[in-house]
Amino acid sequence: MTQKKNLELHRDTLAVREAVERSQYGENSEALYLTSGYVQPNAESGARRFAGEEDGFTYGRYGNPTVASFEKRLAALEGAEACMSTASGMSAILMMCMGLLKAGDHVVCSQSMFGSTIKLIGTDLAKFGVTSSFVPQTDVAAWKAALTPNTKLFFAETPTNPLTEVCDIRALADLAHNAGALLCVDNCFATPALQRPMTLGADIVMHSGTKYLDGQGRVMAGALCASQEMVTKSFLPVLKSAGMTLAPFNAWVVLKGLETLDIRMQAQSARALALAQWLESHASVARVFYPGLASHPQHALAMAQQDGCGGAVLSFTVKGANPDEARSRAFHVLDSLQVMSLSTNLGDTKTLMAHPASTSHGRLTEEQRQAAGVVQGLIRVAVGLEHLGDIQADLDRGLSSF
Ligand SMILES: *Cc1c(COP(=O)(O)O)cnc(C)c1O
């Protein structure tokens, strides 16, 4: 039973109520359908379902009721017509590229995107004849200059990992559309709780459900939100033949995660802002990167685009006379942690800290790393729900003992 179509429900309500398909048992919590196949009512119906002419499930690689509930709920939160989920965030990007691009096409990408995204688009896709240009995320003129007659896709991530650079989604959407290209935004960091790129002109919103959508660090998941036509014509055929299907159990976890997304994002962002302000005044810290700080280069844009909220991830650099000293000091801070977790993941209720230069961005060349601004003294903090004083004390252990 989906909510009545004539009701205009708020996002907070949709996060809890959208796409609750109750079975004959009337369960209140969303059911978890663990099945790889489906019994067809008759051969004629089975044929129509396989041909896509009739609604109904046929095989686990193509669809599942629990997976469909997650997709509908995420689409509702993003303000999208439709959504197609995948086994991980990276496989969502692969699905998008396989569905929309062919040999000879060109992609313009932010140079400060997630490390594996840069690798997938810059290296793996190049083997299949898709070319790419990587530009400074915040420089609209650079995106424009990178356009070629074959440019089919702009791909941005805002705020970026790990430096929280914020790009103007509306400006990039206008530029892409004038050139006949599409804009995809990786919305992992802000989530639909803070930012809805499709309302600003983006054509596709990509998610790693592994992060804040789950929110408690349990499962891998990914998704693409887009028009119904793009999902049906471009993404579904890739899912059917390539099979990067989201597992029903994982879909159930992220479906339930969406119910608390907004309050988690608000609470974790409030802690992140307070921590960023404290770090900014710390004697051992060279610089803090957080969109909620007035010192952030795109502070005003971030506040307008992200519902006045900086998000839950911040980064900072420790002071150091040279890259070697900065690296060893960053390692000292991380190795001095007694409560918070040294982990490259993010989007957990547990605060996670990482050294991007040697982990998420470790596979990049030094040149790519420099372009992404990932220096050796950089530490990323994905702020969780612990008490702020305990997070500060844990960081201060290392920061005050160089
Ligand atoms: C984690 C992450 C991804 C990749 O998602 P997986 O679920 O790990 O495959 C992509 N983009 C951003 C910004 C991420 O943080």
List the domains of the chain with CATH numbers: 261-399 (3.90.1150.10)
**Exposed / middle / buried, residue 286 (Cβ in 10 Å: 0-12, 13-18, 19+):** middle
Residue nearest to atom 11 of ligand 1 (CA): 114
**CA 77, CA 107: separation in Å to the nearest integer?**
27
Rg from Cα positions in the chain: 22
Measured in Å, residue 114 CA sits from the centre of ligand 1 at 7
**DSSP, res 83:** E
Residues β-bridged to residue 157: 186
Q: Strand order in 378-382's β-sheet? A: 285-289, 313-318, 378-382, 352-354, 341-342
pLDDT tens-digit profile, the chain (402 residues) = 444 566 889 999 999 999 988 999 999 999 999 999 999 999 999 999 999 899 999 999 999 999 999 999 999 999 999 999 999 999 999 999 999 999 999 999 998 888 889 999 999 999 999 999 999 999 999 999 999 999 999 999 999 989 999 999 999 999 999 999 999 999 999 999 999 999 999 999 999 999 999 999 999 999 999 999 999 999 999 999 999 999 999 999 999 999 999 999 999 999 999 999 999 999 999 999 999 999 999 999 999 999 999 999 999 999 999 999 999 999 999 999 999 999 999 999 999 999 999 998 887 787 878 777 899 999 999 999 999 999 999 999 999 999
User: What is the CB < 6 Å shell around ligand 1?
Assistant: 88-90, 114, 117, 157, 161, 186, 188, 208, 210-211, 220, 222
Pocket test for ligand 1, best of 165, 166, 211, 244 (most atoms within 8 A of CB): 211
Which one of 161, 204, 244, 254 would you pick to mutate in the ligand 1 pocket, going by the greatest count of ligand atoms within 8 A of its CB? Answer: 161
pTM over 0.85: yes
* Dist CA 170 CA 364 (whole Å): 30
Residue 342 structure tokens? 């040294």
Q: How far is the CA of 51 from the centre of ligand 1 (A)?
A: 33
- What's the gap between Cα 169 and its chain centre? 15
